[in-house]
A and B are shown apart, each in its own frame.
Chain A
Amino acid sequence: MLNVEKLNTYYGQSHILFDVALTVGQGEVVSLLGRNGAGKTTSLRSIMGLTPPRSGTVSFEGKPLQGEKPNNICRKGIAFVPEDRRIFSRLTVHENLEIGAIRERRNGPWSIKRVYELFPRLNERRHNLGHQLSGGEQQMLTIGRALMGNPSLILLDEPSEGLAPVIVTTVGDVIRTVRDEGISILLVEQNSSFACRLSDRAYLIDDGRIRFHGTIDELEQNSELKQKYLAV
């Protein structure tokens, strides 16, 4: 459903992504793994239209996305969950979720009620402001906010980063729940053991180039590859 080909992205003069190509199929969880600074976030930002690529193509459900603004890309059904969470700090938890659905013209199973069922903790904190939340609560909220738009693909940037192990387990469970609804996920991680448990396939990225692409089993068996491109 997502098809990325020969993506080249720059920040100003510096060339960051080199011919990045990847695909995510319907209902698939695909990992994009790599060290800090490898170009993972930039890949997601390019797909989302936040840092438009200078060349290459991105297509989603058969339609080209390049040149579209992020708000239109979102409305086509792609949700972006940023690694720094980016909760609206002056809005309550409840309002943050409402913003996720404010331009929602897509029908789907997700509602505030369901997000609260998925994350009971958010329901308890519904009247708290964004900046009063813990890191784990912020991560739940940013995922919940993305779900409110009823996306068919979620770009998830390092959801396990900086979280206590028990919260990481919760986030893993949520990713499975979401996948079981048929939502595709492109999961960016440095934490490869976490990502591999959840994914069908994986890409390795380093220095802005895709270095490996294959199934999780293929990756697990190739310890040389993991040694070279992942901090293990």
Chain B
Amino acid sequence: MDIAFVAAQFLNGLAIAMILILIASGLTLLLGVLGILNFAHGGFYMLGAFMMFSLGQWGLGGMWFWVGLITIPLALALVAAVVEICLLRPLYHRERLYTLLLTFGLAMVFDDLALLIWGRDFKTVPVPELLSGAVSIGNYGFPLHFIFIIVVGPVVCALLWYLLYRTPFGKLIRAASTDTEMLGALGVNVNLVFTGVFALSAALAGLAGLLVAPIRSIVPGMGLEIFIESFIVVVIGGMGSLGGAIIGALLIGQIKAFGILALPNFAMIFIYLVLLAVLIVKPRGLFGEKTV
């Protein structure tokens, strides 16, 4: 194992981490602000990837990837807003179990919808032309598309930070994560904040899905898979903690990248071991209190 190989593998882990950050940050925001575990969260990731597949088919004069990069997150934000307003909102004043059941059902509906529209076969998407090269690291070629993902991750994190800590909407999100009832009593329509957070989380998950579309096979069921991984990230980081989700994703990314070398088919075992270790030492996760 030479140093260049280790470096390439490290970058690999970083790319995996960026995808997990995009998904886990939305999941943890939903937990922290709305207080719901959204089983359907991975569905937006899957839809993002499938929508990118369709855009790739249409071509759009070679611009399909870049068009999708902007429009897919927006489209999914809109879908999510409708879902939140029509399906989730009526359940907030009921027991939490109803919301859980609903999002669980939604996850299945999303999968079936994808089956219906795109069929059962694996789909693949070409790497966009601009990102199809590779940079050499020693003797290894590291795909440019991975570099792109590694760049997009921190950019999105910075934007998210700006949104949360420098805008009025971010202030409302942080306030809602500690006390929604009081926020309402101060004149804020908390429902709108919830809709905004739900739409935001879906856009982030969709972004992750469209980013990985060119580098993996696209199937219904990929949503559940990523949901489990990103939920582990959230639990390790501490539910509701954005910083925790980022640290957790970076950790899991590296464990996946290097774990695959040790046990090619059982890399998930290392993830579960880390999860177990963290929960034994810090049962509420690394940054386990309700924070955003």
Contact = CB atoms under 8 A, between A and B. Distances in A.
B96 interface: no
Given A90-B174, A90-B292, A91-B171, A102 B182 contact: no
B177 interface: yes
Nearest to A100: B186
B168 to A, nearest CB: 6
Contacts, number: 69
A26 to B, nearest CB: 21
Contact of A102 (B171, B178, B179, B292): B171
Interface stretch (A1-9, A34-42, A80-88): A80-88
A90 B171 contact: no
A134 to B, nearest CB: 18
Contacts of B276: none
Contact of A88 (B168, B175, B187): B175
A70 B183 CA distance: 9
Interface in B144-192: 168, 171-172, 174-175, 177-179, 181-190
Given A50-B181, A82-B182, A99 B171 contact: yes
Contacts of A211: none
Given A86-B182, A90-B177, A74 B171 contact: no
Contacts of A90: 174-175, 177-178, 291-292
A80 B185 CA distance: 7
A222 B291 CA distance: 51
A88 B190 CA distance: 15
For the residues of B in contact with A, the DSSP-based class is helix
Contacts of B292: 90
Interface string A199-224: 00000000000000000000000000
A100 B179 CA distance: 14
Contacts of B171: 91, 95, 98-99, 102
B178 A145 contact: no
Contact of A99 (B172, B181, B189, B291): B172
Interface of B: 168, 171-172, 174-175, 177-179, 181-190, 291-292
Given A70-B185, A74-B187, A86-B182, 7 more contacts: A69-B189, A88-B183, A90-B174, A99-B171, A100-B186, A102-B168, A145-B186
26 contacts: A48-B185, A69-B184, A69-B189, A71-B187, A71-B189, A71-B190, A74-B187, A86-B179, A88-B174, A88-B183, A89-B178, A90-B174, A90-B177, A90-B292, A91-B171, A95-B175, A98-B168, A99-B171, A99-B175, A102-B187, A102-B188, A103-B186, A103-B188, A145-B186, A149-B186, A149-B187
